Structure 1
Amino acid sequence: MSQPDRETCRLVDHRDGLRCVRCGRSLYGVAASRHHRRRRSQSSKDAVHNVENLILLCGTGSTGCHGYAHEHPAEAYEAGWLVHSWDDPLEVPVRSWRGLLLLDADGGTTTVMRTSQTDMKAVA
């Protein structure tokens, strides 16, 4: 299975601040992964590892927020942690501990809506 290149990893890690996108947990020294918003099997080889298709989540595919996203697909699609095969990850915002964000291909974000501290307690 192919992996994102170093520059893509650097851009994703920097954009997400080495924190889990869902809960905001620092990922220093804990199990974490770069999660594909549009599943690998649904992406072209050219787009599977695009920066806008990857987010940092704590845990693995079966633990932490990464596992949560896969166990709760309806919520994950609504939150943008998963993206349908027919959607463009550039156009689907991600619900993050920082707010609702559009991800770009260069490792940047555009804030669609900020998240309050009260909202964050509901995620954690």
Structure 2
Amino acid sequence: MKQKTKQIPKKVLDLVVERSGGHCEVMSTAIGCTGRGEHRHHRKISGREHTIENLLDVCHVCHAHIHAHPALSYAMGWLVKMNYSPGEVTVIRQGQEVTLTEDGGVQIVDS
């Protein structure tokens, strides 16, 4: 029997979509990104935490790319290793290194 997946709470989903503006947050145009936020991707897969900083709004092309290329995805922050918290791992979002915040915002990482 297939286990039922718990849905993302509406408040969390609304903040993730608001943060993305409906656009793919990975935005890898080199691989054919559609530009649309179509899937909610869990950066830290184990436990599938439904937190704002653990979710990215991504297109189906970028979502498939993330899972097909885990080493790159960990380096870019699109995936988060088990022993880290998503809020502590920076992510390359639309070409810019940022930290995702629990209130649905982003903080740009100074270089």
TM-score by length of 2: 0.84
1:76-123 Cα distance to aligned partner (Å, 9 max, x none): 000010000101101101101151110011101100158xxxxxxxxx
Superposed structure 1 runs of 4+ greater than 2 Å apart: none
Partner of 2:31: none
Partner of 1:2: 6
Q: 2: distance between equivalents of 1:113 and 1:16?
A: 21
What is the identity percentage for the equivalent residue pairs of Structure 1 and Structure 2?
A: 34
Partner of 2:36: 27
TM-score by length of 1: 0.76
Q: 2: distance between equivalents of 1:26 and 1:79?
A: 18
- Contact 1:34–1:54, Cα closer than 8 Å, also in 2: yes
- Contact 2:27–2:95, Cα closer than 8 Å, also in 1: no
Pick one of 77, 86, 89 that aligns with 1:89: 86
Q: 2: distance between equivalents of 1:14 and 1:95?
A: 18
- Contact 1:43–1:85, Cα closer than 8 Å, also in 2: no
The yes-or-no answer on 1:106 pairing with 2:103 is: yes
The code of the aligned residue for 1:82 comes to L
The code of the aligned residue for 1:91 comes to E
Mark the runs of 5 or more structure 1 residues left unpaired by the alignment. Answer: 115-124
The code of the aligned residue for 1:57 comes to V
Mark the runs of 5 or more structure 2 residues left unpaired by the alignment. Answer: 29-33
| 1:18 positional shift | 1.1
The code of the aligned residue for 2:51 comes to N
Give the total of aligned pairs: 102
